[in-house]
Structure 1
């Protein structure tokens, strides 16, 4: 029995909901995307949204033309306004990532992804900085300086990888960062700019980035890094399989920037993990499973110890880096499939959104909080085996003694919501129905129904202001328990034994 203290040990960190990732930004013009974002914000409520392609040709911002014998540039904000209006209207702000290079401004033709984001430096630095200044000036004109100052500005994405930055040239990235950061501050010196947005395994970039910024007097307001735990991809048609490190490795990665940068100019800056997940592939079936929710539960619960934010990559399977998805469930990054079918990891986040503001206790398999109105909430998860040698335990037990109020005796109302291999798991239902690539309307209705968490309700006795809660979790289960003292308002004559007209015994 774990005795949960009555007094909180501090506020529950909300770093988990600070930001979430998305596919390239022009996907936000689609109805399916906006419907998915609306559902996400209703159930979870992220504060920021980060995606690639802000300056890529799909957004159509940077345009060139010939006039009177000269090459000229024109900046068009038609799609940018539609995308940001839609996001802001749903209560989420942009975490701006400046990239990739517009084709007409690029120094080469090398691209990444099915949608061909250009990864080369600008052919003309002035034209690039003019573009950066034009975008930020437009945003301030449209949304106001006080609002835009709350939007972080990140320079590029994973420049340590040759797939994302030509030759992974560190010096060239430093130069891009320098001219870009100064351009940002020229628009408004209270805008927040940062980087270097490195991938896992590239922490050796951090100290040179700090030394370069100090030597050159370059502004840096935050440090960004990405975190994944998967091994090399083993390809199958339209998918991959990968080994996974234990989830605790993600927490180690979250902590890396502060550890590596200790003693440098950047040591005390906010740290934003602007992408994280298990696999870095958008076609790994593990993303669709209950295993994935249980695997990430301790990361979501504890990640705020190590970073100011950690952004799940991504909220929706409306995502096309490796091409258009070939089936409803295809291993996409999203918390939601196309057509807004909720995955088990979606429910992990939705459960976190129902946790209280005060943290009472936490452990390897649980997190306990209290709301301002006295409700006590428990998030619990079953352990997983990342080696694949076992399926994980069929049952996992947890016993908690919870403080539920000042009344020494009485009863408490207990509400439990569960997701596991069978419950709250549309992926399992989809597999049972034959893995239809394009589900019909009736099949979609079944999948939405299958995605509902299993819910149960009962009462427990309160003794000395505490409730003993015994939980048995199924394999790969994530469960949310909400405990509220009962103030019974049933009339004194109510007796269920008389429902069929009999006399009270």
Structure 2
């Protein structure tokens, strides 16, 4: 792919120091109207990065795909993910339970692949095995059993034996670092065809069984869908009240608030921060010591959302996440990869950061860039995010251009709608300087744009070939990682001047390197 010189179209300049080849020196640029200044020594707002705590990993049986572990490893290394969340660990296709007999072969394979990829398991207990479910009714093409039993004795035994097995194989110290989430969206009949009271019984049975074997194991829930239509989270509030009344441990609380409605209609920009604030308030008044995780998040909950394959998703991901720092412990993107049950088109708006072949989408680069940020927030306004790393004091920044005419999320459309969205807005100039930095510091500058790092654009430009053969997949992987790159230096006095024009939806990472 043609590599354009980033700094021929916009300047990232340094004053009073050597400039690397390809940059343009502009000493007089600020004489008439100097830029605003960000001081790298100012006190920052310390925060726990929530975007790299974990990522969705589909159903447990997806790990049976030969490339699953390698693809998870790629995502974990690039984006810094520490946990991988999967559902369906007790689903029939895992072969765990048959008439009171237990078989952990596929479970062990899943857990081994997860750990080998450099991440730890975040297990959502589901679904019921055939011999435990309350009926033969199923959901989805893969026959999820969501009707609870009238007697939870067999479920208690299953959870107990599972806990004994993983503690025996991996050790209690290791298992205590994992998370065990009780079910997935029990407020929706699609996932839980039972009563709220039955779910409460399921949770009580699960947490009691696990803690009896490993008292320090982390158990939580309820992974409700959104906040059940109200900003106070009444369903969640009732669940937490029940646990408090029954004196049940709740080590962490989970929910799935999306920045759109259930049909994919976008809500206002900033909806994520609003949701996480409400979620935090609900948890704080019930279990103030509990960790809080959003274990499914994306542009929308709908299976196919075309924008997830394209550039606007990246800028949206950056904004919604950075604007919500300090509210929760983790926000998990829906999946690191498109699932095997999703539509078979190369790009179909699937829920992954990569398509099923491992081709990175712009959303992947958004998380890679977020992972580069430090833990101290120095500035966050108007598409400029500047952070400082706590220990090294290095500076990392992200610039993004969401057009001012866009006041909602970006979800819910088809390819034509995404094309219309891409046409909105104007190029925006970003100019400022950062002072009191490390002198002569070297920075990597990566730019994600319509043409660079945007696989679907290059795929369409090539005639939308489908299916891709093996060689074409490898070429597309290279194209998907083909961001414009440049290196610049701060001055001998520790000043970096930034002047950059960003087209609508562009995202830029400016990352100080270690000496």
Q: TM-score normalised to the size of structure 2?
A: 0.84
SS of residue matched to 1:150: coil
Alpha-carbon distance in structure 2 between the residues aligned to 1:243 and 1:386: 13
1:437 aligns with 466
Range with greater deviation from structure 2 (47-56 or 253-262): 253-262
1:304 aligns with 325
2:37 aligns with 3
Residue 366 of structure 1: CA displacement? 2.3
1:136 aligns with 163
Alpha-carbon distance in structure 2 between the residues aligned to 1:330 and 1:32: 20
Change in 2 beyond 3 A, CA 1:84/1:460: closer
Residue 299 of structure 1: CA displacement? 2.2
1:195 aligns with 221
Alignment equivalent of 1:380, drawn from 375, 388, 399: 399
* 1:374-453 pair list within 5 angstroms: 374-384=393-403, 385=406, 391-403=423-435, 405=437, 407=439, 413-453=442-482
Change in 2 beyond 3 A, CA 1:406/1:378: closer
1:275 aligns with 296
Whether the aligned pair in 2 keeps the contact of 1:298 and 1:365 (CA below 8 Å) is yes
Residue 87 of structure 1: CA displacement? 0.8
Range with greater deviation from structure 2 (141-150 or 444-453): 444-453
Change in 2 beyond 3 A, CA 1:326/1:473: same
The one-character-per-residue Cα deviations of 1:420-457 (angstroms, maximum 9, x if unpaired) are 22211001112222333311234324322321243232
Alignment equivalent of 1:473, drawn from 497, 502, 511: 502
Alpha-carbon distance in structure 2 between the residues aligned to 1:404 and 1:39: 35
Structure 1, unmatched stretches of 5+, are 65-72, 234-241, 488-505
Alpha-carbon distance in structure 2 between the residues aligned to 1:395 and 1:376: 25
Whether the aligned pair in 2 keeps the contact of 1:303 and 1:310 (CA below 8 Å) is no
The one-character-per-residue Cα deviations of 1:92-115 (angstroms, maximum 9, x if unpaired) are 111111111111111012322221
Residue 262 of structure 1: CA displacement? 4.4
1:15 aligns with 50
Range with greater deviation from structure 2 (446-455 or 470-479): 446-455
Alignment equivalent of 2:240, drawn from 183, 189, 210: 210
2:145 aligns with 118
Matched, 1:354 2:372: yes
Whether the aligned pair in 2 keeps the contact of 1:275 and 1:312 (CA below 8 Å) is yes
Alpha-carbon distance in structure 1 between the residues aligned to 2:40 and 2:477: 39
Alpha-carbon distance in structure 1 between the residues aligned to 2:279 and 2:469: 47
Higher relative contact order (CA 8 A, sep 6+): 2
Range with greater deviation from structure 2 (74-83 or 375-384): 375-384
Residue 351 of structure 1: CA displacement? 1.4
Residue 361 of structure 1: CA displacement? 2.3
2:73 aligns with 38
Alpha-carbon distance in structure 1 between the residues aligned to 2:501 and 2:492: 22
1:164 aligns with 191
Matched, 1:331 2:355: no
Alpha-carbon distance in structure 1 between the residues aligned to 2:133 and 2:65: 27
Alpha-carbon distance in structure 2 between the residues aligned to 1:435 and 1:425: 14
Residue 466 of structure 1: CA displacement? 1.7
Alpha-carbon distance in structure 2 between the residues aligned to 1:119 and 1:191: 25
SS of residue matched to 1:118: coil
Change in 2 beyond 3 A, CA 1:171/1:452: same
RMSD: 2.2
SS of residue matched to 2:464: coil
Whether the aligned pair in 1 keeps the contact of 2:446 and 2:486 (CA below 8 Å) is no
Change in 2 beyond 3 A, CA 1:460/1:194: closer
2:486 aligns with 457
Alpha-carbon distance in structure 2 between the residues aligned to 1:355 and 1:165: 39
Residue 153 of structure 1: CA displacement? 1.2
Matched, 1:176 2:195: no
SS of residue matched to 2:475: helix
Alpha-carbon distance in structure 2 between the residues aligned to 1:106 and 1:373: 53
The one-character-per-residue Cα deviations of 1:128-147 (angstroms, maximum 9, x if unpaired) are 10000111110000000011
Whether the aligned pair in 2 keeps the contact of 1:374 and 1:404 (CA below 8 Å) is no
1:291 aligns with 312
Alpha-carbon distance in structure 2 between the residues aligned to 1:358 and 1:386: 28
SS of residue matched to 2:357: helix
Change in 2 beyond 3 A, CA 1:188/1:456: closer
Alignment equivalent of 1:77, drawn from 98, 104, 115: 104
Whether the aligned pair in 2 keeps the contact of 1:105 and 1:123 (CA below 8 Å) is no
Whether the aligned pair in 1 keeps the contact of 2:438 and 2:490 (CA below 8 Å) is no
Structure 2, unmatched stretches of 5+, are 1-34, 409-416
2:279 aligns with 257
The one-character-per-residue Cα deviations of 1:388-427 (angstroms, maximum 9, x if unpaired) are 78633231222221135355xxx55443111122211001
Alpha-carbon distance in structure 1 between the residues aligned to 2:477 and 2:284: 48
Alpha-carbon distance in structure 2 between the residues aligned to 1:186 and 1:263: 27
